[in-house]
A and B are shown apart, each in its own frame.
Chain A
Amino acid sequence: MHPDLVLRIAGESGEGVITIGETLCRIAAREGVHIVTFRTFPAEIKGGACMIQVRLSEGPIPYHGEQVDFLVCLNQVAVDENLPDLKENGALLCEAECDVSEQPGRTVYKVPFDRIATREIGSRISKNIVVLGSLSHLLAIPKKSIEAFISEKFARKGKTVLDHNLEALQKGVDFAEQHLAKKDPYKLPGGSDQKRLLMTGNEAIALSAVAAGLKYFFGYPITPASEIMEWLAVHLPKVGGVVLQTEDEISAVCSVAGASWAGGRSMTSTSGPGLSLMSETVGLLSMAEIPAVIVDSQRGGPSTGMPTKTEQSDLFLALYGSHGDVARVVMAPTSVADCFRVTALAFAIAEKYQLPVIVLVDQATSARLETIDPQILDRLPQASRLCAAPGDGAPYARYRLTDSPVSPAAIPGTEGGEHMVTGMEHDEFGNFACDDETHTAMTVKRFRKLDEIENDPLTQDLCTRLGDENGEIGVVTWGSTAGPVEEALAVAKGLGISAQAIIPRVLNPLPHKELKAFFGKVKRVIVPELNFLGQFASVLRSTYRIPTIGLTKIKGVPLEPREIVEKIVEAASASNVRSMKRYGRAG
């Protein structure tokens, strides 16, 4: 692992906690530092406890870190709630009034942020900037970088506001310089010449969609996916696209169906409750063979559930939701950078195969800031719709049965391409037909697309492979749980346990060849995921007839690497016991 720093800032929502974290991230990203963050959102509309954890590193990191090196607390509640997560030899910077119990090895710095902000600056809201000033001294963050960032950020608000903030920053620095002697070893990790871009998973999805040619976005506000629509509302019109907030999710996905049939790349984004409402239309899109990208940023369910908490419990809904035999593709990005790749892939597959693609991201990835490689645009998957050019005299058949399950689509407006698309079972011309032969032929046609997708060059080598390729303990996971799994394997290796992991990005159709090969090599299969039922484990058991060891969690937060390590250790010792017994019997 690369030298890193796990920093957490905690306080009351409205105190500027997130701004402190984000500012540090922006500055560090420009220095080429790798960053992964995690933040909590209070369920309250205003107020409530909140925190942002920022892990900064000289090299790539898969996860936001477990124990905190450096903790910043803006009030007593924050101290009480977050101190248990501080490392034994960690450092705490907190409001001077806070009561902190003594502990050997721990460094505590106290600054009267409130007093400096209200008395010396005369503005309570500048408190977070004072904190930044003190932090810049303690973590050796160049003050010039912070000043430059603040100047950019407040330039539009006028000179008075800017000067106020620069003064607050200086006061924070001054106090720290005069009163705080640096005693802990923590500092901002070094970067590289390569500046890195900083964005959330939602922003990565939105930007990737634009890069993939998105023109028509329809959506309905829902936590934690709204940010996708909000970002696109500002930027999509710049490229001649449109964003429309519809009256509900059904209207959103149906508008997508209409726009896509009419030839435009179209998308909607939602969370579990919205995907539930969209289910019937997912079937229509599959039946009528219309491309669509549907992003589900999962949150705690069922029903309204836990809107601001993360969970991976919509897998069954994405895979099976909608009546009848519905051919659809399901994908899951593993990180913010991966949101970029997977969203572009979703468009490519949807257009190429004329079917709905559901992208399952989750709240933790949607909301977290992470650095990505600016060259990300160079490697995006691309494909387009097979369009018909009728007019050779023969009547155009929208759903022509050929060797390929994909029939050329005439975009409305095309000469000679008049046709019906329909949610009813239909013949090659789109006319309703309820005979058994047609229904069978057309169902097979729709599902053959999945076979082709599984073998399409676009979906090859899309599994993340981690650990020792001869490891007997196997871990299979999906989505954002990939990060903690990567860390867990590194820890397990340190403990002398040989384990390996496979993380598919396409969950339907599953990469059978790669998974079968993997199951052939390992003796145990652990499936960590954030839901109660063990949904992915269940899919793997029924698809591959293998026993699995479930590791589920529904606490609204990601799995921690140590939770996975424990399971790996347990599986490894059970495996040893078993092989010893077998050895004994043979002897």
Chain B
Amino acid sequence: MEELDNSCGYLSGVSPVWCSGCGYYGILSALVEAFADLDLPTKELALVSGIGCSSRLPYFVKAYGFHSIHGRGLPIAQGVKTANPNLTVVAVGGDGDGLAIGGGHFPHVARNNVDMTYLLFNNAIYGMTKGQFSPTTTLYPVTKTSPFGLAGDAVNPSALAIVYGASFVARGFSVKKEHLKSLIIEAIRHRGFSFVEILSSCSSFNTTDMNVARIIRGLTMVPNDHDPKDSIEALRLATDKEKIHLGVLVRNERPTLGDRFQEAQQKAKGRGSGTVEALLGQFA
């Protein structure tokens, strides 16, 4: 357990359950500092998560928090934002939670362009269950459930977000806290579905895939002249085998799910009154 600096005032006081040396401390720190920089009222902040090490994060933040069931953070967050659009909704979760068991929801919140932020903590392992492979495990093939090697190849979270049509896609690294914080701020400010893949080392069960020294050696920043509307180039950067590109890969504006609901409400009102008495009338 590590001591956390709560000068920003956004920590709840509940101590994180994460292992010593876990990259998630850095992410938590970047996240609460981002909230402070954005000056978000805690009463209007909703943190939603599924199950896993990263999904424990809402307990540690002073906000409205919903720690739900494995893989279902995204549809719950979609419901929260739909019913209460004034809230800043942030979903957090891991690579297993979001890409394995919950992988079916990711494309749909992305294409619906729900006005929320999804932070995917990618440590390429199942940590909470103590060391089974995840959909992003690559360089550490022998895990407790893959003693003779992995059954399949890894998926690339940022690349998936791009092809799913997320209107904001970025990649950060838990160790580069200031950069990560700036990405989270941009993601929260973005109007629409914003996705940030956060590379983070698991100090207990997979120190290989997200090995800090290896990632620092391999990383580079997304070029300044990258046009975030160019999703093909964004995909090329996201899938680059030589370098790990950190930064904003995609940013574009399009109607959000909330916009479409409003449009539907306008159109529906043109089709008659919504009073219950009027609705009853159609059965006469």
Contacts and interface: CB of A to CB of B under 8 A. Distances in A.
A418 B64 contact: yes
Nearest to A251: B75
A197 B284 contact: yes
Contact of B84 (A263, A288, A416): A263
A421 B283 contact: no
Interface residues of A, number: 63
B283 A197 contact: yes
B152 interface: no
Interface in A189-228: 195, 197-199, 203, 207, 210-211, 215-216, 218
Of A255, A263, A413, which is in contact with the most chain B CB atoms at under 10 Å from its CB? Answer: A255
Nearest to B78: A255
A197 B283 CA distance: 5
Contacts of B277: 377
A373 B87 CA distance: 42
Contact of B265 (A237, A254, A424): A237
Contact of B78 (A197, A237, A258, A413): A258
A371 B43 CA distance: 48
A241 to B, nearest CB: 8
Contact of A258 (B48, B257, B276): B48
A188 B46 CA distance: 60
Contacts of A414: 43
Contacts of A234: 268, 271
A360 interface: no
B65 interface: yes
B104 interface: yes
Given A218-B79, A280-B69, A412 B268 contact: no
B104 A248 contact: yes
B139 to A, nearest CB: 32
A412 B104 contact: no
B280 A374 contact: yes
Nearest to A254: B75
Contact of B276 (A211, A242, A411): A211
B280 A284 contact: no
Interface in A7-52: 29-30
Contact of B83 (A258, A288, A430): A258
B83 A259 contact: yes
A389 interface: no
B74 to A, nearest CB: 8
Contacts of B107: 247
A578 B123 CA distance: 73
Given A259-B82, A421-B65, A421-B67, A238 B269 contact: yes
26 contacts: A197-B284, A207-B280, A218-B79, A234-B268, A234-B271, A235-B268, A238-B272, A240-B265, A258-B48, A258-B78, A260-B79, A261-B80, A262-B87, A264-B84, A377-B276, A412-B46, A413-B64, A414-B43, A415-B43, A417-B43, A418-B43, A418-B45, A420-B58, A420-B59, A421-B66, A423-B69
